[in-house]
Structure 1
Amino acid sequence: MKLVAAEAGLQPTKINLFSCYTKRVRANLHAVITMSPIGEIFRTRLRQFSALVKCCTIDWFSEWPNEALESVALRMLQNMSDLEVNKETLKALVQMCIDMHQSVVRNTELFKHELNRHNYVTPTSFLELLTVLLNCILTVFSKIYGIKKQEIITARNRTHTGLDKLLHWCVNMTLHTPCLV
């Protein structure tokens, strides 16, 4: 700090050094604080710490465009490798999630207009929807899928066993037919 104070043309006293230090911190320190704008907690924080509004740059993020919703849904739902989901089914699931989210957004606006009450739908709400859907698919549907797959395997094995017995019977009949004539 002594070199910085000397470059600024100041004597290296404690007050000047601390002043230079404070100026450098203000110029170079960057902090990111993230808060959800929903609810009373955000308003309370703004009242308690008024410098958040006065001295900070606030970036408000609006709702995600369809491309972002699709990208996030596709990335999260691709983890369903246990179910052997094809691309068409995956695309339909992604579109269903997007439609559900947009429907909730539209109905929230209607709710606000008709009842003058706020219900906030954020990108976090979309992520929660995807998480619930993924958990539902991986638990309930994977059990159903496993049961149906086992039923198909059992039916296939029975069919193979029946065909083997018919083949064995046909071979035996062709061998014994000349004896009967």
Structure 2
Amino acid sequence: MKLVAAEAGLQPTKINLFSCYTKRVRANLHAVITMSPIGEIFRTRLRQFSALVKCCTIDWFSEWPNEALESVALRMLQNMSDLEVNKETLKALVQMYIDMHQSVVRNTELFKHELNRHNYVTPKSFLELLTVLLNCILTVFSKIYGIKKQEIITARNRTHTGLDKLLHWCVNMTLHTPCLV
């Protein structure tokens, strides 16, 4: 801070250093607060802390378009190192996730109209859906992979044992064949 104060033409006293520090913090500190606008808690927070409305920029995020859903799903699937699928399968998985999310959105509207009850479907719901389904896929894949790997190892061991017995039998036959003649 001494260099900053000197560049500003100030003496390096404690008051000047602290003043430079607070100016830099105010100019450079950015905080991100995320809150769901659903329910009474959000309204209560805004009443308690009015500076959240007066001194902040509020970005409202509504429903994501299909391109955003596709991009997020594709990115999450590509980041899964254990998941090795071709491009066609990857596109099909992405489309399946998008269809599932949109189905939930449609059924939420029906739920609201028929029962007059709210069920909020947010982008975070889509991310949670992706996370849960990817974990399920990987768990099932790991179990199937383990079972198949064990089956292959067992088949390989049986083949090796059978080949060893055949080799042993052939060696014994060649040794005993002259005796029989």
With normalisation by structure 2, the TM-score equals 0.66
Output the CA distance in 2 between the equivalents of 1:84 and 1:67.
Answer: 23
Change over 3 Å in CA distance of 1:173–1:19 after alignment to 2: closer
2:77 touches 2:83 (CA, 8 Å); kept in 1? no
**Residues 73-94 of structure 1 deviation map (CA, whole Å, 9 limit, x = unaligned):** 1221224333533333332222
Note the C-alpha offset of 1:28: 8.9
**Residues 99-134 of structure 1 deviation map (CA, whole Å, 9 limit, x = unaligned):** 111111111111111111111111111111111112
**Residues 6-40 of structure 1 deviation map (CA, whole Å, 9 limit, x = unaligned):** 99999999999999999999999865433221222
Name stretches of at least 5 consecutive residues in structure 1 with no aligned partner: none
Change over 3 Å in CA distance of 1:174–1:47 after alignment to 2: same
Matched-pair identity in %:
99
2:35 touches 2:42 (CA, 8 Å); kept in 1? yes
Note the C-alpha offset of 1:41: 1.4
1:82 touches 1:142 (CA, 8 Å); kept in 2? no
Stretch moving more, 19-28 or 148-157: 19-28
User: Which residue matches 2:27?
Assistant: 27
1:80 touches 1:138 (CA, 8 Å); kept in 2? no
Name stretches of at least 5 consecutive residues in structure 2 with no aligned partner: none
1:83 touches 1:142 (CA, 8 Å); kept in 2? no
**Residues 126-179 of structure 1 deviation map (CA, whole Å, 9 limit, x = unaligned):** 111111112222223312222123213433553465467668878998999999
With normalisation by structure 1, the TM-score equals 0.66
1:6 touches 1:12 (CA, 8 Å); kept in 2? yes
Stretch moving more, 49-58 or 37-46: 49-58
1:97 touches 1:130 (CA, 8 Å); kept in 2? yes
1:73 touches 1:97 (CA, 8 Å); kept in 2? yes
Output the CA distance in 2 between the equivalents of 1:167 and 1:5.
Answer: 88
Q: Which has the higher contact order (CA 8 A, sep 6+)?
A: 1
Change over 3 Å in CA distance of 1:94–1:163 after alignment to 2: farther
Change over 3 Å in CA distance of 1:151–1:81 after alignment to 2: farther
Output the CA distance in 2 between the equivalents of 1:140 and 1:46.
Answer: 45
Note the C-alpha offset of 1:3: 18
Q: How many residue pairs get matched?
A: 181
2:70 touches 2:95 (CA, 8 Å); kept in 1? yes
2:73 touches 2:97 (CA, 8 Å); kept in 1? yes
Output the CA distance in 2 between the equivalents of 1:175 and 1:66.
Answer: 75
Note the C-alpha offset of 1:42: 0.8
Change over 3 Å in CA distance of 1:172–1:35 after alignment to 2: same
1:70 touches 1:95 (CA, 8 Å); kept in 2? yes
Stretch moving more, 10-19 or 135-144: 10-19
Aligned-residue Cα RMSD (Å) equals 5.5
Note the C-alpha offset of 1:49: 3.0
